[in-house]
Amino acid sequence: MRKSLVASVGIVAAIACLPLPAVAQTPASKTAAPARAAKPYSPPRTAWGDPDLSGSYTNTSESGTPFERPAEFEGKTLDQITPAELAKAIDQRNQRKVERAPTLGGESGTGAGPIHWFEDYDAKNSRPWMVTDPPDGKVPPTTEEAKQRAAILLAKRRGGDSYNTGPFDGPEDLTLYVRCISRGLPGSMMPAIYGNSYQIVQGPGFVGIRYEMVHETRIIPLDNRPRLRDDIQLDMGDARGHFEGDTLVIETTNFRERTAFRGASSHLKLTERFKPMGPKAVEWSVTVDDPHTWTRPWTFAMTLTRDDNQPVFEYACHEGNHGLYDILSAARAEEAAAAHVAK
C-alpha cells in the first residue's frame, strides 16, 4: 500500500533649488531600497526544448482536503483563510481519519493494518478546499437535463452503486471502479487511501501520464493533430496538449458517459493545467465545462508533489479482485437458500 516583492531600485530625487537655505540631501546609503523579488520558477528543459515535468508525483499530502468549501469557512474565499486556520483544519481532518480507520481497513476493520500503514496518514494539505472557481468554493448547480440523466442511471442500477447495496445480479450492477475497469478522469488523479502516485514521461511531440490507481495510461499528443470524430468516445477521453509558457495544458473531450466526471454528459470538456511551482511541486488545476450538466464552467486544483522514491506500483486489480467474485457468489447463495426455504 502505499504519498514581492516588486524589484525596484531606490532613487533619491534631487531637491529643487529654493530661495531658502539649502536643505541637506539624505545620503543614498541611508535610503531604504526594496529587496529584489525572487525569480519565478523556470523548470529545466528537455533535449528538444519543452519544459521538463517528467518524474514521479503523488497527491498523498492533499488527502482529506474537502472538494468544496466546508461549513467552517462559510462566507470566506480562499485568500481569506489564514495559515493558523488552515493548520487547525488540517489537524481536525487527520484526527477524523484516525477515528474512521477501523472501518476503512484498520486493525479492527478489514485487516489492512494500523493507521500509520495508510498512505495518506497525517497528510499536510496545501489548501482549505479544492474548488477555486466559483469564488464561493461550490460546484455550480446541475441542469434539469443532468438531473433527469442521473435518475435514469439510478433506475437502471436499481440503486446498486457500491459494495454495500444491491442488487448483485451481475458485474454490471457495480461501478466500473469496483470492477477494476476505470476510475475515470480526473478520478484516477484524486486522493484516496492508496494508489496516489503518477508518472509523467515526455518525448518529442508527446506526454504520457501513468496512473497507479487502476493502472491507466494516457498518451497525449502535442502536435496539433485533429481530434477524433464526435461519435468515437473513450473511457479516458481524447486528449490534446500544448505548452503555454512553462505550463502544460491538456484539453480532453469525447468521453463515454459511463466514465464522465461527476455524472457529466458526453459533451464534457476537461482542461487540465500542470503548472510547475518549484523543483518538487506542480499545481494541477482542472476546468470542467459541460453546459448539459452544470450551469457554468468551474475549476478545482490541488498540488502534486514530486517524489521519485514513490514510483507507480503494480495495481493488479483484476488479479486480486476477490471482492467482486465474493459479492456475486454470496448473492447466488442467498438466492439458493431462499429457494430452498420456499420449497
In a domain, 222, yes or no: yes
Question: Does any domain span residue 280?
Answer: yes
pLDDT in tens, 256-296: 999 999 999 999 999 999 999 999 999 999 999 999 999 99
With a cut of 50, say whether residue 5 has pLDDT above it: no
Q: For residue 230, is pLDDT > 50? A: yes
For residue range 29-76, list pLDDT tens digits in order: 344 445 555 678 999 999 999 999 999 999 988 888 999 999 999 999
Query: Three-class SS string for 90-105?
Result: HHHHHHHHHHHHHHHC
Average pLDDT value for residue range 112-131? 76
pLDDT category of residue 83 using cuts at 50, 70 and 90: very high
Whether 26 is in a domain gets the answer: no
Chain centre distance of CA 129:
11
> How far apart (Å, rounded) are the C-alpha atoms in residues 119 and 105?
12
- Domain assignment of residue 255, yes or no: yes
223 within 8 A of 236, measured Cβ to Cβ: no
pLDDT range class, residue 93, cuts 50, 70, 90: confident
Q: How many separate domains does the chain show?
A: 1
Q: Which domain holds residue 223?
A: 55-323
Q: Is the pTM of this model over 0.95?
A: no
User: Exposed/middle/buried for 244, CB within 10 Å: 0-12, 13-18, 19+?
Assistant: exposed
pLDDT at 251 over 50: yes
Q: How far is CA 138 from the centre of its chain?
A: 16
Q: Is 269 exposed, middle or buried (0-12, 13-18, 19+ CB in 10 A)?
A: middle
Alpha-carbon span 25 to 13, nearest angstrom = 9
pLDDT-above-90 percentage for the chain:
58
* 290: in domain: yes
Residue 46 forms part of a structural domain: no
Mean local confidence (pLDDT), 103-130: 67
In a domain, 41, yes or no: no
Give me the percent of the chain exceeding a pLDDT of 70: 80
Instruction: For 155-197, write each residue's pLDDT tens digit.
Output: 877 655 555 667 788 888 888 888 889 999 999 999 887 888 9
Average pLDDT, the chain: 84
Classify residue 163: in a domain, yes or no: yes
Q: What is the mean pLDDT of residues 251-258?
A: 96
Give the pLDDT confidence score for residue 81 in this predicted structure.
Answer: 94
